[in-house]
Chains A and B, each alone.
Chain A
Amino acid sequence: MSSSPQPQASGSEQPMAPFEAEAAGWRRLDMRMLLVHPVREVARLFPVLVGVVFAGSSTGRGGLWGLVGAGIAISLGLLRWYTTTYRIAAGQVQVRRGLLRRQLVSVPLDRVRTVDISASALHRVFGLVRVTVGTGLSDRKSNDALRLDGLSAADAERLRDELLHRRTKDEAADAAPEEVIAAIRPTWVWYGPFTFSGFLTVFVVLGFAWRIVSETHVDPRQLGPVPEAYSALMAVPRWLDLVASLLVLLVVVAFASTMGYVLAFWGFRLVRSSDGALQVTRGLISTRATTIEERRLRGVEISEPLLLRAARGARCIAIATGLRVGRGAERGGSLLLPPAPLHEAQRVAAAVLNASEPITVPLIRHGPRAHRRRYTRALVMWALLIIVLVASAGLAQVPSWAWPASLLLLPLGAVLAYDRYRSLGHALAGGILVTRTGSLVRRRSMLACDGIIGWNLRQSFFQRRAGLATLVATTAAGRQRYAVFDVPLDEAVRLADRALPDLLAPLLTEPDDRSRAS
């Protein structure tokens, strides 16, 4: 967990003579990729095709244009296979692509932080994978450039070893054996419904069905048993209807969430390989393998969404440079443990950090002023909303029950504020900054102090009056900012000073000679 000295260098793009000698170590994507592209394009245009085949004419000329689009997309895919080559040479990984605009991306091997190997169902049919090389140049363009879609699984494994395990040849003798930190257990599926990830799936499926319906011009109200069911639904009282549909929705979402959990996390394993890198493999149909180098790891986060917390579950996320949380193709790449029992998440966090102290250390609370601030913030916000609703009660567009119903927000806000205060806490344990915050998603972030590359100490007008401050540790890893919210100012300064002692010392004064601005 230290930043090792390396030469300052970054990805660069240079023009390049087209089609140089293939002999110079350039490798191509796998031939089988030529089969994947057409199939994938056809799948994407499935609703349009259904419309064309079964309904004769689709919505005007949309179907025809859809087919033309598919043809173009397929040819582009073929072209991409033909023009994309890659190699590892002179300490650099290089990718060449493009026909008219030739592009060469070179990144020094030093800068490679993560290697992500994923495979969709289609890829797996053909034994192919997609490799994404994470460089931490928090820049979408270069991340996209270092994605190789369609290597054979064996080629991908070899590439990963070349990219990350380049030291193993000389260190193989004294390397530690592989260590399995965590592996999925069937009972964890119990946490699936509590992730609520199925919400999105249900909407996607509904959207897909809707497109097919609209493309084929079939009125679902005249289809098989639907008319009877529809009139039956109309017959029952409205509130019963509402309750029933809510229940159905809940069951469907819970089922979809569970399915999603199984699909995404089946066969999950977290392994520390012989050279210290963390490897996560998971997935039932689409598989994914992520490798995070140990020297890029800056910490761990235990996150507990409210529902999952109610079921005593938690997730684990790596804080690593080059892995920005929730960004594009690397989304989910920093996951260290899927929703699992809390004690399991704590055990994994301790194993990854090589220290249990940050997980068990009692957190320092932020005191009564922070407590009061949670309530005022929540209540002022809801009060403003209620005032607006009361003021607009006379208007025709606003239903009459709106403002009495909105009063319910007040107790709800108070409960949330109480829980938010209970979550607040921080500590410093063994060179690791621990901060916990949030209620709807409670996160306990454990960030190594040598991964902190700056402090932001923010005080709003009201925070200054209350003597509080929000201390943000900035870092190149994970979420980029880890905040200690509403901590007393003195404690914020003390914490920052203890975490990075040399940095603050020249900026501190004894309380006697305060010469404060404003």
Chain B
Amino acid sequence: MDPPLTSTNAGQASGAPPQLRPPRNLVSPRAIRYWTARALGGWLVVVLAQVFLMVLVREGVVRFQVITLAVTVVVAAAHVVVMPRWRFRVHRWEVTANAVYTQSGWFSQERRIAPISRIQTVDTERGPLEQLFGLSNVTVTTASAAGPLKIHGLDRDRAQELVDELARAIESTAGDAT
């Protein structure tokens, strides 16, 4: 059968364990406005759909519709105010001599680390909304399908510098990165 399980106290053996520090670089402060605009757009669609339904269906359920609309507006307002600022505090990135390191999310947060020697592609992309705020995002993929590293809300020039820097670093490594 299975080997027995031992209890977890290995971490305390050598005093306080080392911590993984957050990445060094923040993204552009303009990203706050970008995230706000994007969230506003999404909520606007939801609210408009509800208003449309209210105009269309007017039998008996008006009270219910008003309540859901009010709840939606309150939730939307909280999300639009809190989410972008929270995100800005979390979203960070860093490139060391041998790794790319990102931190993203807000309610759920994730740190991703990929060795430079395992990078397969580096893409940069600017959606219409991002262009409006002079932003760019950079995607670093590895041979694994389990999630590329994405850096959102970078200043456009900074993103280009990062892509060039990574391209130079990748050139100097060999192997098929699997």
A contact set with B: CB distance below 8 Å: 3-6, 8, 110-111, 136, 138, 312, 321, 324, 342, 360-367, 422, 425, 451, 453-461, 464, 472, 474-477, 480-481, 488, 490-491, 493-494, 496-497, 500, 502-504, 506-511, 514-518
Q: Can you sample 7 A-B contacts with CB below 8 Å?
A: A453-B118, A454-B112, A456-B110, A490-B19, A506-B98, A507-B113, A510-B16
Interchain nearest-CB distance for B3 vs A (Å) = 5
Contact B22 A6 (CB under 8 A): no
Cβ–Cβ < 8 Å partners of A460 in chain B: 107-109
Contact A366 B96 (CB under 8 A): no
Contact A138 B18 (CB under 8 A): no
CB closest residue in chain B, given A451: B178
Interchain nearest-CB distance for A5 vs B (Å) = 5
Of B3, B7, B112, B113, the contact of A503 (CB 8 Å cutoff):
B113
CB closest residue in chain B, given A422: B5
Interchain nearest-CB distance for A446 vs B (Å) = 13
Of A5, A481, A517, the contact of B146 (CB 8 Å cutoff):
A481
Contact B97 A506 (CB under 8 A): yes
Contact B108 A476 (CB under 8 A): no
Q: How many residues of B contact A (CB 8 A)?
A: 49
Cβ–Cβ < 8 Å partners of A491 in chain B: 8, 10-11, 17
Is B144 an interface residue, CB under 8 A from the partner? yes
Contact A476 B143 (CB under 8 A): yes
- B17-44 with Cβ < 8 A to chain A: 17-22
Interface pairs A-B: 5 shortest CB-CB = A481-B146, A476-B143, A474-B144, A476-B178, A454-B114
Most buried by B among A136, A422, A510, A517: A517
Tell me the bound Cα distance from A148 to B85 in angstroms: 55
Of A360, A366, A507, the contact of B101 (CB 8 Å cutoff):
A507
Of B5, B107, B144, the contact of A461 (CB 8 Å cutoff):
B107
CB closest residue in chain A, given B91: A517
* Interface stretch of the complex, out of B49-57, B67-75, B129-137, B169-177: B169-177
Is B154 an interface residue, CB under 8 A from the partner? no
Tell me the bound Cα distance from A336 to B86 in angstroms: 47
Cβ–Cβ < 8 Å partners of B18 in chain A: 493-494, 497, 508-511
Interchain nearest-CB distance for A432 vs B (Å) = 15
Interchain nearest-CB distance for A144 vs B (Å) = 18
Contact B107 A453 (CB under 8 A): no
Cβ–Cβ < 8 Å partners of B11 in chain A: 488, 490-491, 494
Cβ–Cβ < 8 Å partners of A474 in chain B: 114, 142, 144, 146-147
CB closest residue in chain B, given A470: B110
Cβ–Cβ < 8 Å partners of B174 in chain A: 5
B contact set with A: CB distance below 8 Å: 1, 3-8, 10-11, 16-22, 86, 89-90, 92, 94, 96-99, 101, 103, 107-115, 118, 142-147, 149, 174-178
Cβ–Cβ < 8 Å partners of A364 in chain B: 5-6, 8, 10
Tell me the bound Cα distance from A507 to B90 in angstroms: 16
Interchain nearest-CB distance for B175 vs A (Å) = 5
Cβ–Cβ < 8 Å partners of A480 in chain B: 144-146
Tell me the bound Cα distance from A342 to B2 in angstroms: 9
Tell me the bound Cα distance from A4 to B177 in angstroms: 9
| Contacts beyond the supplied A365-B6, A500-B115: 17 A-B pairs with Cβ under 8 Å | A5-B174, A138-B145, A361-B3, A367-B7, A453-B114, A453-B142, A453-B144, A453-B177, A454-B112, A456-B111, A474-B114, A476-B178, A488-B11, A490-B11, A491-B10, A494-B10, A511-B16
Tell me the bound Cα distance from A66 to B170 in angstroms: 55
Contact A509 B21 (CB under 8 A): yes
Tell me the bound Cα distance from A494 to B19 in angstroms: 9
Contact A365 B17 (CB under 8 A): no
Cβ–Cβ < 8 Å partners of A502 in chain B: 98
Cβ–Cβ < 8 Å partners of B147 in chain A: 456, 472, 474, 481
CB closest residue in chain B, given A312: B1
Interchain nearest-CB distance for B5 vs A (Å) = 5
Contact B19 A5 (CB under 8 A): no
Of A342, A365, A516, the contact of B1 (CB 8 Å cutoff):
A342
Tell me the bound Cα distance from A248 to B9 in angstroms: 51
Contact B8 A3 (CB under 8 A): no
Interchain nearest-CB distance for B104 vs A (Å) = 10
Of B1, B8, B94, B115, the contact of A453 (CB 8 Å cutoff):
B115
Of B5, B96, B112, the contact of A365 (CB 8 Å cutoff):
B5
Interchain nearest-CB distance for B100 vs A (Å) = 9
Contact B8 A481 (CB under 8 A): no
Q: Answer whether A517 and B103 are a contact pair too, CB < 8 Å, given A5-B176, A6-B175, A453-B115.
A: yes
